[in-house]
Structure 1
Amino acid sequence: MPLTHLLALAVLQGLTEFLPISSSAHLILLPRLLDWSDQGLAFDVAVHLGTLGAVVVYFRAELWRMARDWLGSLAGRGLTAEARLAWAVLWGTIPVGLAGLLLKGWIEQALRTPTVIALATLGFGVLLGLADWAGRRRRDEYSLGWRGVLAIGVAQALALIPGTSRSGATMTAGLALGLTREAAARFSFLLSIPVIVLAGGLELRDLATAGPAVDWSTLWIGALISGASAFACIHLFLRLIARLSMWPFVVYRLVLGGALLAIYAP
């Protein structure tokens, strides 16, 4: 892979993974629009693992408290707010885990097309705008009950459709449930951790047996660059989202989806 392609794709992944605009769609579309060779799933996995490192480092203090109190709940020391949040992240991962196991092959073969991406970008962009406009925005992530966690988990499973955006779908569901923008974003970011771990683990297992065809140096560089850009993106997004609202991302999705339909629709 040329160095310019590597840098562009890694930075793009880092900047879009946690924004509600679909990183997977951008990784599919950029090579198609510029007539680049497909970077392959190995590179996609590497840059996703880079973003995993970014979110773990950024939320390291929260994750430590959550892990400590979750283990305490297993030992019978009761449910603290941090333990409940840890359980919420785990329960919210089940729908996407089941959907991924059952539908992964079909999705990769049938849905990685510009038309599907365009329709998902438009449709879920409208839903994000409605949720941001109508949501009460009074609750934090610690207030989620099991029904709310299940709803956000199902929304995350829908994000297996390219163009939907995992962060966009989970933030939309969180806003619809009355979470503040910051709370919806934080829970979405925390919820990304087990998903990336599970998906990356399955792909890494395949890569480990792939032999010399895998360019490991390219994967490491891509992971580091995507991780650095993702860390910066998380920091700026959480600082600015209360003032910016979700509408810049809604407008971007509508423009992008409309442009893709104009280019690729039959």
Structure 2
Amino acid sequence: MRARRGAGARGVGSAGAAGGRSAVTTPLDALPLRDAVLLGLLHGPAELLPISSSGHITLVPWLAGWPYGELDPELRKAFEVALHAGTAAALLIALRDEVEDAALDLDRRRITLIALSFAVPAVAGLTLERAIEQRLGTPRSIAGGLIAGSLVMAWADRVGGTSRDRADAGAIDALWLGVAQACALVPGASRNGMTLAAARRRGFGREDANALSRHVALPVIVGATLLKGTRLWHRGLPPGLAGRFVAGVLASFASTLGSTWLIRQVERDRSLAPYAAYRTALAAAVLWRGRRR
């Protein structure tokens, strides 16, 4: 890959000055190998639970005082997408039987479900991505996304029924799931959490809601990975940073494979309230910490 000189350093330096700490001069300082691996290990379970993996990847370093926030914003986003790629690859392996069954049973209804649930977030991402990245993504805004998502999850799970089976999902359900994934572009909202809330609100039981959430999420994750990967290929990485990305991807892949049992925990007939409570507690900790800084 071709490295674009100075891009990472300029973004890091400005972020460091804004944070009141000494400026980080290189992307390697902003993303040490240890931090890349730890963030990859965190990403797997955070992605499988409705708690916002992207929110955790930003908030945990911020709360812990790591220099990750001083990395150039474009490189941070690329790193997060790389972690998603590791998680997606692990899910394709761990859930290969489920994926194979879905592929073999592919019919007009399933194609419509995938296409509509993909089209809405794809259009939203292409048109609103830059604005969202520029205006949102701070610890305070992520805390707001966590709280708002918690309220939606708790409400939808409370009022949602259990009478519908995943095989009943149609075009209207696909649009709801697509809108949910578009809303998840807001940092802290959580793609898993929003699609679970949409499916529960549409009357699907928790196990079926989880299956629908997984089935519509994988195409979006793969599509975002290809788009960001292409951009990153043309832009290039600063010297030495590729190894940190690879380490993070491998850690994300391994932690996802080791955490797939969490899927069964979420899809059991249990309330989403504990996850909503955890998200709210994390948001409160972030807001409290922000006031002290």
- TM-score scaled by length of structure 1: 0.88
Q: Which moved more, 1:40-49 or 1:256-265?
A: 256-265
Where does residue 64 of structure 1 map in the other structure?
100
Other-structure match for 1:76: none
What SS does the aligned partner of 1:157 have?
helix
The one-letter code matched in structure 2 to 1:105 is R
What is the alpha-carbon distance in structure 1 between the residues aligned to residue 216 and residue 266 of structure 2?
20
Match status 1:252 vs 2:275: no
Q: Does 2:245 align with 1:219?
A: yes
One of 117, 124, 134 as aligned partner of 1:109: 134
Q: Which shifted more, 229-238 or 200-209?
A: 229-238
Within 5 A, what are the aligned runs for 1:74-85? Answer: 79=107, 84-85=109-110
1:265 Cα shift? Answer: 5.8
String of CA shifts for 1:8-48, please: whole Å, max 9, x gaps. 20011111112111111111112222222225223212111
| Consecutive unaligned residues in structure 1, runs of 5 or more | 71-78
What is the number of equivalent residue pairs in this alignment? 255
- List structure 1 runs of 4+ shifted beyond 6 angstroms: none
Q: Cα 1:249–1:239, aligned 2, differ >3 Å: closer, same or farther?
A: closer
Structure 2 partner of 1:194? 219
The residue type equivalent to 1:42 in the other structure is: A
- 1:21 is matched by which residue type in structure 2? I
Percent of matched pairs sharing the same residue = 35
Contact 1:137 1:181 in 2 (8 A): yes
Of 29-38 and 205-214, the range deviating more from structure 2: 205-214
Once the two structures are superposed, the pairs formed by residues 92-241 of structure 1 within 5 Å of their partners are 92-211=117-236, 213=238, 215-239=241-265, 241=267
Find the aligned partners of 1:7 and 1:220 in 2 and give their Cα distance: 9
1:154 CA drift (Å)? 0.4
* Paired residues of 1:49 and 1:196 also in contact (CA < 8 A): yes
For residues 243 and 142 of structure 1, do their structure 2 counterparts lie closer, same or farther at Cα, with a shift above 3 Å needed?
Answer: closer
In the alignment, the residues of structure 2 paired with residue 19 and residue 86 of structure 1 have an alpha-carbon distance, to the nearest angstrom, of 26
Greater CA drift, 213-222 or 2-11: 213-222
Do 2:112 and 2:171's aligned partners in 1 also have CA atoms closer than 8 Å?
no
Equivalent residue for 2:46, pick from 16, 22, 43: 16
The offset of 1:212, in angstroms, is 5.4
5+ residue gaps, structure 2: 1-30
Do 1:155 and 1:170's aligned partners in 2 also have CA atoms closer than 8 Å?
Answer: yes
Distance 1:64 1:242 in 2: 23
In structure 2, C-alpha distance between the alignment counterparts of 1:265 and 1:122, rounded to whole Å: 17
Output the CA distance in 2 between the equivalents of 1:119 and 1:128: 14
1:18 touches 1:189 (CA, 8 Å); kept in 2? no
| 1:173-206 per-position Cα deviation (integer Å, ceiling 9, x unaligned) | 1011111111111111121111111111111112
CA distance in 1, matches of 2:100, 2:45: 25
CA RMSD of aligned residues (A): 2.0
CA distance in 1, matches of 2:165, 2:109: 13
- CA distance, structure 1, for counterparts of residue 94 and residue 290 of structure 2: 38
Distance in 2 between residues matched to 1:203 and 1:37, nearest whole Å: 23
Give the superposition deviation at 1:96.
Answer: 0.3
Counterpart for residue 44 of structure 1: 80
